[in-house]
Structure 1
Amino acid sequence: MNTGSISDRNAAARAPKNLRRLALLLAAGMACPFGAPLAQTVSQATPRAVTQDPPRDTKFPARLEVLRIPSGGVEINGVAMVASGAGPHPVFVLFHGLPGNEKNLDLAQAVRRAGWTVVTLNYRGSWGSPGEFRFAQNLEDAHAALAFLRDPANARRLNIDPARIAIGGHSMGGWVAAQTAATDRNLLGTVIFSAGDMGGIGVHARADLAAIGALMDDNRESLAGVSGRSMAEELAANGPQWSFATLAPKLAATRLLVLYSDDFAKADSESLIAGIKAAGGKSLRSAHVPTDHSWSDRRIALSSLVINWLNTLPKARLGPAPTRQ
């Protein structure tokens, strides 16, 4: 998903006419003010983990664990790519977009090679997870995944440090990650790339529900229990409270990396960066990479940026897990 196409489609020029129309509309209303300062950048140097396998640890080898994460009365599908070594390892939870055709599993594998256990999941009603898809439930599923990983029994089984969890997300998953970071103060940090402002789309849905409904119809493959119309209505009902404009001040104290590309969502990222800076945020880093929404020809750059930033996060435990707000 991106803010203009709400999908994992690539270039603006190839997007359907209605997607280009929405992209222009969003850019006109939500672009970063001219000259607004952006955040400090992060290194794009290629770390070893992007191109080289680590030495094999025969006692504590890397492995794959299937997860069934309780959320909303069902168990959603997840996978843990457990890092090699004695551990306990820090954790990186990666959220996919709408509908999630690009799941960024190459990024997940690179982060694992860098020493992190990586968890991916499918929201309720998506890609075979039980239940019906709802945007609000995506946020609930994110919190449920964190609670699952912080459970002592699960932490022992996965050989992870439940006090050292970072999260990330692509496209709509970037919105999920950013919203989650705003209410969970015990995360090490959050990275979002080509993130789409679902609340901003909801604001526009109030003015043109039919157009947003048509866009959602074009982006709901693999999603259960929804129509384009129902998705647009949910966004319209929650637009302002879910928007990046509302979210930005809540992220002022968050260790956040914002990566953005030349896609429909570029203006969303620029506006979020400007809003966080205006709120006094000093832990923000950002980088712009000239590529498409799916980072199709900059996969090594994406993994490098994320891993280099993860390496800057605190190495010590941050204390007990917070209660959910």
Structure 2
Amino acid sequence: MSKHARQGLLAAGFLLSLTCIASVQTRPAPAAGHSPVTENRASMETMQIPSHGKGMNALVYVAAGVGPHPAVILLHGFPGNERNLDLAQDIRRAGWDVLYFNYRGSWGTPGDFSFTHGIEDVAAALAYLRQPAVANKLRLDPARIVLVGHSMGGFMAIQAAAADPRVRAIGVISGGDLGGVYQHLRRENASANATEKMATGLAHEGMAPLHGCTADGLAQQVAAHAADWVFTAKAAALRDRNVLVVTSDDGLADYNEAFADALRKAGDRHVTTRHLSTDHAYSDMRTDLSKTVLAWLAGLAQ
């Protein structure tokens, strides 16, 4: 490089430095008591939510604005490969906080996974968000918390909401009716064969992200609780809630439609149903799924 070229580069670098310094010096100073970063902007908070002596790995997508915002607890399925975080982002843009967490024994959260533990974990997540200090930090309204669950997450939403009348609404996306599926298998097989077939189905879904459980043990747990875990058994407890039921072409639509019918027969006048012709993960209809969930949530906010 020639001497003149080197001098030119040095001069350009010097001028760039002066420009940066000038821009810093001329930037308006923040008002007293305010952070240079815009307050109340959208953000993400991470935490470990206590549940029966373990800390569940969790995050909250915090909506922009002063709030307090309504909140969705987004519940993943079995084992949880589809996390629906695209929905979480869309829901946040609509003005809701969104909590996502991993049940005990799943995806690195300490503890042992089981279906009963999962129900307890949802109750723990609700209790966490309702703490005044937590609600204040996340700018959320603890009186306006909605459960939205996909697959097994739909099962968790129904079980947890039936036990907690303060949950104002639930969204069920291709809910995994564990009790209903087991009873169907039981009608077609001997009890031992039904449990074995249930275990085979669970193992097929994948056990690698789960700790402290086996497919056989989980199937036996379903067999022991089947009568209470059927979706339709919770219709009376949920008849005063606002419920969204979304179905797909995954073999679970009949169970979910039966749940919606049971709610209506129990006197629930706030049941919304939508069928999308796609697979269990809604792989090619994610936008339609999001629009369905957002339209339902918009109705709750009125």
- Common fold: TM-score over 0.5: yes
SS of the aligned residue for 1:221 comes to coil
- Asked whether 1:281 is paired with 2:261, we answer no
Instruction: State whether residues 41 and 63 of structure 2, in contact with CA within 8 Å, keep that contact through their aligned partners in structure 1.
Output: yes
Residue 194 (structure 1) aligns with: 174
- Asked whether 1:258 is paired with 2:238, we answer no
- Asked whether 1:208 is paired with 2:188, we answer no
Q: 1:295 aligns with which of 276, 282, 295?
A: 282
CA distance in 2, matches of 1:69, 1:144: 7
Q: 1:174 aligns with which of 154, 157, 161?
A: 154
Residue 38 (structure 2) aligns with: 58
CA distance in 2, matches of 1:183, 1:227: 27
Deviates more, 1:136-145 or 1:82-91: 82-91
TM-score (norm 2): 0.83
Question: How do 1:138-149 residues align onto structure 2 when only pairs under 5 Å count?
Answer: 138-149=118-129
SS of the aligned residue for 1:312 comes to helix
Instruction: State whether residues 181 and 254 of structure 1, in contact with CA within 8 Å, keep that contact through their aligned partners in structure 2.
Output: no
Query: Percent of aligned positions with the same letter in both sequences?
Result: 42
Residue 122 of structure 1 and its aligned partner are, at CA, apart by: 0.5
SS of the aligned residue for 1:190 comes to strand
- Asked whether 1:232 is paired with 2:212, we answer no
What letter is aligned with 2:150? H
SS of the aligned residue for 1:313 comes to helix
TM-score (norm 1): 0.77
Superposed CA deviations along residues 236-284 of structure 1, whole A, max 9, x for unmatched, are 0100111112122222111101111111111111111111122122111
Instruction: State whether residues 125 and 132 of structure 1, in contact with CA within 8 Å, keep that contact through their aligned partners in structure 2.
Output: yes
Residue 86 (structure 1) aligns with: 66
Indicate the structure whose relative CO is greater, using CA pairs within 8 Å and at least 6 residues apart: 1
Instruction: State whether residues 188 and 313 of structure 1, in contact with CA within 8 Å, keep that contact through their aligned partners in structure 2.
Output: no
What RMSD over aligned residues (CA atoms) do the two structures have, in Å? 1.4
Residue 49 (structure 2) aligns with: 69
Residue 202 of structure 1 and its aligned partner are, at CA, apart by: 3.4
Question: How do 1:4-153 residues align onto structure 2 when only pairs under 5 Å count?
Answer: 58-153=38-133
CA distance in 2, matches of 1:314, 1:305: 15
Residue 6 (structure 2) aligns with: none
Which structure shows the higher helix fraction? 2
Which one has a bigger Cα radius of gyration?
2
CA distance in 1, matches of 2:92, 2:263: 30
SS of the aligned residue for 2:245 comes to strand
Superposed CA deviations along residues 194-227 of structure 1, whole A, max 9, x for unmatched, are 1110112333363522221122222222000111
Superposed CA deviations along residues 140-169 of structure 1, whole A, max 9, x for unmatched, are 000100000000111111111111111100
Residue 314 of structure 1 and its aligned partner are, at CA, apart by: 4.5
CA distance in 2, matches of 1:59, 1:236: 51
What letter is aligned with 1:127? W
Count of residue pairs brought into register by the alignment: 259
What letter is aligned with 1:217? A
CA distance in 2, matches of 1:125, 1:262: 30
